[in-house]
Amino acid sequence: MTVVTHRQMEIVQFLADGATDREIADTLSLSIRTVSNTLHRLYDRIGVSSRVRLAVMCRDGQIEERPNGHARRQPATRRRAR
C-alpha cells in the first residue's frame, strides 16, 4: 500500500479519471509544472513508469491518503534551557 498526501491523492484521482496535466492544474489552481513534477516524483517513489499504471493502482485501492493529509515530517527536537 502506498500512502500519499492529500494533494497527491487529489492529483492521482483526477489522473485516474482521465484528466490531463493541464486539466488537473486548472481544476486545482496549480501550475502544470507542479502537477507534472508531483506525478513524476510519485512514479519514482512507487516504481511505475506510466500514468496508466498509477491510475490502475488508484482504482485498485493500492494508494491511500495519509490520515492527517500531510506528508510525514520529523518532529522538531527542543533543547532544554540551562
Q: Would you give the distance in Å from CA 68 to the centre of its chain?
A: 14
Radius of gyration of the chain (CA): 15
Find cell 508531483 and name the residue: 38
Complete domains list, the chain, with CATH: 2-65 (1.10.10.10)
Q: CB 68: neighbour CB atoms within 10 A?
A: 9
Q: Cα(61)–Cα(4) distance, rounded to whole angstroms?
A: 12
pLDDT at 2: 86
pLDDT in tens, 26-53: 999 999 999 999 999 999 999 999 999 9
**Which residues 6+ apart lie within 8 Å of 46 measured at CB?**
2, 54, 57, 63
Q: At what angle do helices 6-16 and 51-59 cross, to 10 degrees?
A: 100
pTM of the model: 0.77
